[in-house]
Amino acid sequence: MRPPSPTSLFARLLSAVAVVAITLVPAGPATATNQVSGSDVVSDVLYEVDGAAGLVRVSAVIEVTALDSSVGSFSITLPAEVANFAVTEGGIPLDVRLATEGGGTYKSAEILLDGPLGVARSTTVLANYDIVAGTRNSRSAIRVNPAYVRFGVRAHGNAPGGSVTVRADGYTVDPEKVPLLSVIGGGAPLYRADDIQAPQAFGVTFSAENPEALLSTPVAVGENEVVVRSWPGDEQWASAVVGAIEQAGEMLFDSIGLPWPDGAPLTITETVAPTEAGFGGWFNQVTHEIQVGERVDEQLVLHELSHAWFNETLFAERWIGEGLADEFAARIVRERFDSRPFPKVIVRGQRVGKQLNEWAHIGVGSADPLEDRYAYNASWSILFAITNEIGTDGLSRVLGAASRDEIAYRSAGQAEQTSVPDDWRRFLDLLAEAGGSREAADLFYEYVATDTDREVMDTRAASRKSYAKVVAALGGWDLPYPLRAAMESWDFTAANSMIRNLERVALAVDLFEQRFPQADAAGVYGARVANLADSGESIIDDITGVLAMADLLDATSGVTLGPVASLFHSGAGYEQDRAAAQTALEAGDVATADLLVARINDDLDRSREAGRRTLLGVVGFIVFALGGALVRSRLRRRADRAAKALNASVANGDTFGRTNEGDDRAAVPFIMDSTDFDGP
């Protein structure tokens, strides 16, 4: 919905607030209405709508009664658009003096009777005239065509007892919106008010429609269609609307990026209803009908067309839909047409400047035209700034996520669905997360949020800061859905608790990455973090176990076996086991690493034991060898002494040195010599 330009407000000021109805309107100044001198005037007026001719035919039966003096004339008030005014008395035409009054808003007619009317005498006068419809965008509020009629109904006279009747064959009036005129039966419907007590103050606006008479023009928008329904005879309006859609409708649809609305066909209907309420047009999201006033331009058409997507079904707040509609329409207009629409600088005043979350929808509360005009511009200005920051592509991502009910705080995979209400809070989160906006929060804080909203926004800002730190600490890993869902629903108490747990997990992961810089920490723990449904103690415990096992593995690298034990240790197997244990720890596999470290330590223990036994054997051998050599050396020395002694005896002629083996005299004697010992 878009406000009209200031010039189009003139018709609004002259009309009633109702859209399709008969409602009370001013009938002109009382001092200038139905002036009579010394007489009572009572009338029965019939209004007959002739839509094909573009006029209303009026016939009035006027009874004039002289009171305390004779009268020769009387006056009645007529609409400014009167034509073919004629009056007769007893079949005799009467002279009439017409004068324009009220700055051209109405006319007064002085009717001269055929002769002076005596005291207490009465006469009947018949008046006939036409009310001619005003042209498109004219100052006149009167419209009469086969599809729509709107004109003022007056009662002529100054005395009680008159009536007015309206006959509008083929037109429809909502009975609930006819508070003053009752419908009477018998053929075509008639709308009537009887026994009017204050005819000089009586005035209503009769407004009715005949939708079947509208001219329909289908306009293609890509593979879809918009039906433009215009008043017969208003080719200029139809051409302007159809031309805007033909030139820019598909571009608008593509830039918004949302599916074509389901349900009823999308239609744009010409009517003055929005103008009467102070708007250029509006969209009915139930019937999918866009109603647009006579004063149209490309931005208005595209603005209202975009409301097929930007309405309460997308985001609840009025300002969001209006800001989006203005921004998308204006960007298309600047690109496709000879126009450069931009929002004005937001200026608050003493009378205007409420926070946009306080801007109520139409029909809720009392409308304030000045506040509306401020809110329209402020809404557009905010969306203009955000779109400049993130681009139309970024804004389309936001809208797409909103229409698909996707969570704002999404993971790297397919986005989860959310049931969070589509309001300004969700819009803010989507702008930040899906659109990447950094400016939206400040703009919302300044122009959108109420004092209560700002308190929650302060809490949100602190939680988002902690949330971002955890994301950075974990290297951009997916965070658990319960946390993201809490952020989505603005349950920051629950979110902060989970963030604190994740901060401890992130610290443990950081220690793991420092110890194993080549490890794929995300591959090891990323899925567990993403699916975390508790405090994360199990992840912390596992990482603690990995780091402890890494210390045990490191301890195996500083072992010195010595030269003998090293002879029994397989270096290749040892290094393979260490490498395998390192790989297992990088994968978070403590059990495998434990087995490998145990095997490494067992191998080291066996090597030490084998080395010890070998060393003992060598020492024993050496001892044995040294002992044997000592014995042989001593025996050799003894033998040498004995041989020397024997030889000396023989040389001296002693025979005790000669001996026989046993008692056998055949035994061969021998002499011991050191040469008999060649070694052990």
| Mean pLDDT within 109-137 | 92
Q: Is the pLDDT of residue 33 over 50?
A: no
pLDDT digits (tens, 9 = 90+) for 169-193: 999 887 666 566 767 766 678 898 9
| Mean pLDDT within 131-160 | 90
The predicted pLDDT at position 626 comes to 75
Residue type at 200 in one-letter notation: Q
3-state secondary structure of 239: helix
CATH number, domain 214-309, options 1.10.3470.10, 1.10.390.10, 1.10.8.870, 2.60.40.10:
1.10.390.10
Binning pLDDT at 50, 70 and 90, where does residue 621 land?
Answer: low
The predicted pLDDT at position 474 comes to 94
Count of beta carbons in the 10 Å neighbourhood of residue 504: 14
Binning pLDDT at 50, 70 and 90, where does residue 645 land?
Answer: confident
Q: Is the pLDDT of residue 627 over 80?
A: no
Distant-in-sequence contacts of 550-554, Cβ < 8 A, 24+ apart: 550/515, 550/516, 550/585, 552/597, 553/578, 553/581, 553/582, 553/585, 553/593, 553/597, 553/600
The predicted pLDDT at position 16 comes to 30
List the beta strands (DSSP E) in 222-315. 224-230, 266-270, 281-284, 289-292
Q: Is the pLDDT of residue 567 over 60?
A: no
The predicted pLDDT at position 99 comes to 95
> Which distant-in-sequence residues (6+ apart) come within 8 Å of 593 by Cβ?
546, 549, 553, 581, 584, 585
d(CA 205, CA 152): 4
The token duo for 384 is 């203009």
- To the nearest whole percent, how much of the chain has pLDDT over 70? 82
d(CA 372, CA 352): 9
SS3 per-residue string spanning 69-88: CCEEEEEEEEECCEEEEEEE
Binning pLDDT at 50, 70 and 90, where does residue 6 land?
Answer: very low
The predicted pLDDT at position 134 comes to 87
The token duo for 498 is 């989970």
CA angle 194, 196, 197 (to 5 degrees): 145
d(CA 581, CA 596): 6
Q: Is the pLDDT of residue 372 over 80?
A: yes
| Range picked from 17-31, 183-197, 417-431, 524-538 for highest mean pLDDT | 417-431
pTM, entire model: 0.76
| Mean pLDDT within 444-449 | 98
The predicted pLDDT at position 189 comes to 80
The predicted pLDDT at position 615 comes to 60
Domain boundaries, the chain: 29-209, 214-309, 316-449, 450-544
Q: Mean of the per-residue pLDDT values for the chain?
A: 85
| Mean pLDDT within 256-269 | 91
* Residue 581 or 641, more confident: 581
CA angle 32, 34, 37 (to 5 degrees): 95
Please give the CATH number for the structural domain made up of 29-209.
2.60.40.3680
| Mean pLDDT within 47-67 | 96
The token duo for 363 is 């029909």
pLDDT digits (tens, 9 = 90+) for 577-593: 888 988 999 999 989 98
* Residue 248 or 613, more confident: 248
Lowest-confidence segment of 231-240, 244-253, 386-395, 661-670 by average pLDDT: 661-670
pLDDT digits (tens, 9 = 90+) for 284-303: 988 999 999 999 999 999 99
* Residue 552 or 428, more confident: 428
The predicted pLDDT at position 640 comes to 75
Residue type at 131 in one-letter notation: I
Binning pLDDT at 50, 70 and 90, where does residue 602 land?
Answer: confident
The predicted pLDDT at position 638 comes to 77
Q: Is the pLDDT of residue 601 over 50?
A: yes
Count of beta carbons in the 10 Å neighbourhood of residue 75: 21
pLDDT digits (tens, 9 = 90+) for 320-367: 999 999 999 999 999 999 899 999 999 988 788 999 999 998 766 667
